[in-house]
Amino acid sequence: MAFTVAVDGPAAAGKGTVARAVAEHFGLAHLDTGALYRAVGLKVLEGADPVDAARSLTPADLERSDLRTPEAADAASKVATIPEVRAALRDFQRAFARRAGGAVLDGRDIGTVICPDAEVKLFIIASDEVRAERRWKELRERGINVTLADVLAELRERDRRDTTRTDSPLRPAEDAIIIDTTHLTIDEAIARAVAEVEKRLPPEMRKQGKAQ
Ligand code: CDP
Ligand code: CDP
């Protein structure tokens, strides 16, 4: 049966970490929807038309090693303001969300636009400074040399673009559960998310879920 968990929130709040762990815990499929916009953004940096790029995305585009660079993030948030780009990516995301066996999708508009009927909606937040520090550490560990100040400025600019665009702006759905991870460890954030999903799990899926 279909069971959808929507995970939204601003940049580097911990959406991906929580979404992957929830998917693993309950045996659900996981889709990082930010990767779709990042892949389109990279193609545009290489000269492609944004709408053509979104319409012709392939699985290989989603496996590029440069997907998680600050350049890809910046380009992603620019193409993400174009309604035709968002429309081109919509059906794939919705089909993924309703797949048998259930799915977790993380992004910006999953609970509001892609899956307004999702069984569970989580909205992950953390202070700007904490988010910037986490992303800065992550980038440095991957050998990408950036200053903390640049990362903070980039996150704020992207959040501004994501919250003020007209098509599918970033905002919590009315029925979203807010999880503030500012003072939470990764394990604590995951435990909170798992507990929220557990409460809403249909009985027939409860049997499938791994024991806590
Ligand atoms: O997907 P999103 O951009 O929202 O965030 P992420 O990639 O899941 O997390 C950003 C970074 O913060 C990663 O390096 C996580 O390991 C780290 N993180 C953390 O330190 N504490 C948390 N409670 C959640 C994530
Ligand atoms: O991991 P992080 O939160 O830094 O970024 P991401 O989730 O990979 O998303 C990159 C950009 O894609 C965001 O800043 C948004 O502009 C856009 N995006 C979106 O508009 N809608 C989504 N469902 C997912 C991402």
The reply to whether 11 sits in an annotated binding site is: yes
Residue nearest to atom 3 of ligand 1 (CA): 12
pLDDT, tens digit, for every residue of 143-177?
999 999 999 999 999 999 999 999 999 999 999 99
Band of pLDDT at residue 207, cut at 50, 70 and 90: low
CA atoms 23, 24, 28, 33: torsion sign: positive
Question: What global pTM score does this model have?
Answer: 0.97
The reply to whether 203 sits in an annotated binding site is: no
**208 has a pLDDT exceeding 80:** no
Query: 67 CB under 6 A from ligand 1?
Result: no
Give the model's pLDDT for residue 67.
98
Band of pLDDT at residue 1, cut at 50, 70 and 90: confident
The reply to whether 17 sits in an annotated binding site is: yes
Rounded Cα gap, residues 180 and 66, in angstroms: 29
Residue nearest to atom 14 of ligand 2 (CA): 77
Residue nearest to atom 21 of ligand 2 (CA): 108
**212 has a pLDDT exceeding 50:** no
Rounded Cα gap, residues 6 and 75, in angstroms: 24
pLDDT, tens digit, for every residue of 45-83?
999 999 999 999 999 999 999 999 999 999 999 999 999
Asked casually if ipTM beats, i.e. exceeds, 0.95, the reply is yes
pLDDT, tens digit, for every residue of 19-47?
999 999 999 999 999 999 999 999 999 99
Assign domain 4-201 to a CATH class: alpha beta
pLDDT, tens digit, for every residue of 122-142?
999 999 999 999 999 999 999
Residue 26 CB neighbour total at 10 angstroms: 21
Residue nearest to atom 8 of ligand 2 (CA): 34
Distance 197 CA to ligand 2 centre (A): 23
**Nearest atom in ligand 1 to 20's CA:** 8
Distance 212 CA to ligand 2 centre (A): 31
The reply to whether 181 sits in an annotated binding site is: no
Share of the chain above pLDDT 90, in %: 94
Polymer length of the chain: 212
